[in-house]
Chain A
Amino acid sequence: MPLLELKDVRARYGPIRALHGVSLTVDKGEVVALLGANGAGKTTTLRSVSSMTRTSGDILFDNRKIARRSPEFVARLGIAHVPEGRGLFPELTVWENLRMGARGKLGWEDAERVVAYFPWIERRRDQQAATLSGGEQQMLALGRALVSRPRLLMLDEPSLGLAPTVVAELFAIVRRLNEDEGLTVLVVEQNATIALEVAARAYVLEVGKVAVEGTSDELRRHEGVRKSYLGY
């Protein structure tokens, strides 16, 4: 039984249709990548799960219907969504941002776990989040998602605007979280190469529909995917 299931989800922004019936599943303990070009509907798919856009169709989390509720309802079910642009609070400090991940009630255990992954966070805890580098901001956003003890982590383009070494470091942490702690991850990426290295399965979105799906190996061998998204 999948942890997250989308059945024929459609979404629109005013008159513009962004999703034309997306169906996908994410199993417990799996890393699934959502690939595609700009405007293919990747971000809209995550926003649909979080009830941040108007949708039709069914979205099931742990066999429970969660479509068309509210972002806070979905978050409280244990879906941590790190949005495009990271969604940090720029004027709050690093530590205050982290505390907000647990809605203010950050336990020692969770704090220590995050500091183990990102040791710099403790040294710079009183710095304003706006003053962090892009990579640090993305890591803080990831750490903040972790302290909520999510059952599903959704990452929207974590690699955007980051140097290749930082991207590699970030995805290595996602892999560790999955392998060591069994964290379930749905990651949206334009950087298909790195996403397929970490994900077990992937979906390729094209103009609001799933065009190709399969395991990462299958997708790497798929000629269309290779030419359009992997570039060789």
Chain B
Amino acid sequence: MLGVGGIVAAILAVLLIGLLLAQTEDEFTWGAYGQQIASGLSQGAIFASLALALVLIYRATDILNFAQGEMATFTTYIAWSLMNHMPYWPAFALTLGIAFVFGAAVERTIIRPVEHRPEIVVVIVTIGLLIALNGLTGWLWGAEVKPFDSPFSLRAIDIGGVTVTVQDIGVFCVCLVTVALLWAFFRFTTLGLTMRAVANSQDASRLLGVRVGWMLALGWGLAAVLGAVAGMMAAPTLFLDPNLMLVVLIYSFAAAVLGGIDSPLGAVVGGLLLGVIINLLGTYVDFIGGELRLPSALAVLLIVLLIRPQGLFGHRVVRRV
């Protein structure tokens, strides 16, 4: 797996790129460089959460859920409504519960009837869901941009010469704690084991008496929880509007492909990596700047698909025809 080697390689890569930039860029400072990496990791943690949601559903059902971002936006609006009536963290927790039920209900009512249809049918249904949820969100809450509270201050603190905002650290920690809890759930609980078995083989699970339909609903519920976390972490900086997660979803697709679409670890590493890459590209490559960040994420996606279609941690799919 990732291991010590991977971490050492990542640190070395960061130092090498820094040294390279120090030689070529006139205004390079290590402090600014570290700051870009820190905010890249913070954004990347959001991509990682949503990418992991995509991977969870993909592994269990072979479906790419194009509506994952809009589901996240929808639950973020629910959080916004709740936060008008209660403090941040109770609203946060309540939103996660609602997101879980919402995700499971979407699977039961919308995905279930088309489950055994060809993949293209299911993909079209998720795209339809994307459009419907986007419209519903706008209809319920209006299209104007809303401010969204952050539980973390924008105060900057100094860590070894690198100034990092509390906001960045907080976002990073919330996302990674969510991912870690989910990992522990899959690794250590009976329910998690059963869900991994269903992702491996639905037929074999049925023959052992597993109620596969409910396990899939549970998977969609957990994916929706991850999406809600990503949405609530993204909203304070991106501001809340019905298209909040549209762009984040594209970054998350790129992250999931980078890490390997069938690898949960890959989704997390891919998300963090992509966050750092687009931040460094946007800052140090003049012609990319702020505007070309999204195209550069798509370029990453394209390059991965061309050079290593299975991603960093994925398995090469061999289809016998």
Chain A residues packing against B (C-beta within 8 Å) = 50, 52, 70-72, 75-76, 80-81, 83, 87-92, 96, 99-101, 103-105, 144, 148
A-B contacts, 16 listed (Cβ < 8 Å):
A50-B207, A71-B203, A71-B207, A75-B206, A81-B207, A83-B207, A87-B203, A88-B204, A92-B200, A99-B193, A100-B208, A100-B210, A103-B190, A103-B210, A104-B193, A148-B209
What is B's interface to A at a CB cutoff of 8 Å? 190-191, 193-194, 196-197, 200-201, 203-212
Given A89-B197, A91-B196, A92-B196: A103 and B208 interface contact (C-beta under 8 Å): yes
Judged by DSSP, the binding face of A is loop
Looking at B193, B207, B208, B210, which has the most chain A CB atoms within 10 Å of its CB?
A: B208
Of B196, B200, B211, most buried by chain A (CB within 10 Å of CB) is: B200
Determine if A91 and B200 form an interchain contact, defined as CB atoms under 8 angstroms apart. yes
Contact of B190 among A83, A89, A104, A144 (CB under 8 A): A104
Contact of A89 with B194 in the complex, beta carbons under 8 Å: no
**B193 and A100 within 8 A (CB):** yes
Give, as a whole number of angstroms, the nearest-CB distance from A79 to chain B: 9
Q: Given A87-B201, A89-B200, A75 and B207 touching (CB < 8 A)? A: yes
Residues from chain A with a CB closer than 8 A to the CB of B204 are 83, 87-89
In the complex, how many residue pairs between chain A and chain B have their CB atoms under 8 Å apart?
Answer: 66
Contact residues in A for B209 (Cβ distance below 8 Å): 72, 75-76, 103, 148
B contact residues around A72 at 8 Å (CB): 206, 209-212
A89-B200, A90-B200 known; A96-B207 Cβ under 8 A: no
Q: Which residues of A contact B208 (CB under 8 A)?
A: 75, 100-101, 103, 144, 148
Contacts of A144 in B (CB 8 A): 208
A104 CA / B210 CA spacing, docked (Å):
10
Chain B residues near A96: list those with CB within 8 A. Answer: 193, 196-197
Cβ–Cβ < 8 Å partners of B210 in chain A: 72, 100, 103
How many angstroms from the CA of A88 to the CA of B191 in the assembled complex? 18
Output the least CB separation between A115 and chain B (Å). 19
**Which A residues are in CB contact (< 8 Å) with B196?**
89, 91-92, 96
Contacts of A103 in B (CB 8 A): 190, 194, 208-210
Check if B206 sits within 8 Å of A71, measured CB to CB. Answer: yes
The complex places the Cα of A87 from the Cα of B205 at a distance, in Å, of 8
Q: Is the CB of A105 within 8 A of B190?
A: yes
Say yes or no: B206 contacts A70, CB within 8 Å: yes
Q: How far is the CB of B214 from chain A (nearest CB, A)?
A: 10
How many angstroms from the CA of A83 to the CA of B204 in the assembled complex? 8
Residue pair A100, B194 in contact (C-beta under 8 Å)? yes
B193 touches A52 (CB 8 A): no
Tell me, rounded to whole Å, the shortest Cβ–Cβ distance linking A220 to chain B: 32
4 nearest interchain CB pairs? A104-B190, A75-B209, A87-B204, A71-B206
Q: Which chain A residue lies CB-closest to B190?
A: A104
Q: How far is the CA of A80 from the CA of B208 in the complex (A)?
A: 7
B194 nearest in chain A by CB position: A104
Count chain B CB atoms within 10 A of each CB in A72, A87, A105, A148 and give the residue with the most: A72
Contacts of B212 in A (CB 8 A): 72
Q: Which residue of A lies closest to B191 (CB)?
A: A104
> In whole angstroms, what is the CA distance A74 to B49 when docked?
38
Q: Which residue of B lies closest to A70 (CB)?
A: B206
- Is B194 within 8 A of A83, CB to CB? no
Q: How far is the CB of B14 from chain A (nearest CB, A)?
A: 32
B190 and A52: CB pair below 8 A? no
Distance between A11 CB and nearest chain B CB, rounded to angstroms: 17
Chain A residues, CB < 8 A from B194 = 100, 103-104
Residue of A nearest to B203 (CB): A87
- With the chains together, A153 CA to B289 CA distance in Å? 66
* Bound Cα distance A83, B201 (Å): 12
User: Considering the chains assembled together, what is the distance between the CA atoms of A87 and B198 in angstroms?
Assistant: 12
Residues of A with C-beta under 8 A to B203: 52, 71, 83, 87
Give the Cβ gap from A87 to chain B, nearest Cβ, in Å: 4
What distance in Å separates the Cβ of B284 from its nearest Cβ neighbour in chain A? 40
Which residue from chain B places its CB closest to the CB of A147 in the assembled complex? B208
Are A100 and B207 touching (Cβ within 8 A)? no
The answer for the CA separation of A152 and B193 in the assembled complex, in Å, is: 25
> In angstroms, how far is the closest chain A Cβ from the Cβ of B188?
11
Q: How far is the CA of A81 from the CA of B211 in the complex (A)?
A: 16
> Nearest Cβ distance between residue A93 and chain B, in whole angstroms?
10
Residue of B nearest to A99 (CB): B193
- Provide the residues of chain B in CB contact with A92, threshold 8 Å: 193, 196-197, 200
Closest B residue, CB atoms, query A91: B200
- Report the minimal beta-carbon distance from A97 to chain B, rounded to whole angstroms: 8
In Å, the complex CA distance between A144 and B197 comes to 13
Least CB separation from B189: chain A residue:
A104
List A contacts of B193 (CB < 8 A): 92, 96, 99-100, 104
State whether A87 touches B207 (Cβ < 8 A): yes
Extra contacts, 5 of them, besides A80-B207, A104-B190 (Cβ < 8 A), are: A72-B212, A76-B209, A87-B203, A89-B196, A104-B193
**How far, in Å, is B173 (CB) from chain A's closest CB?**
30
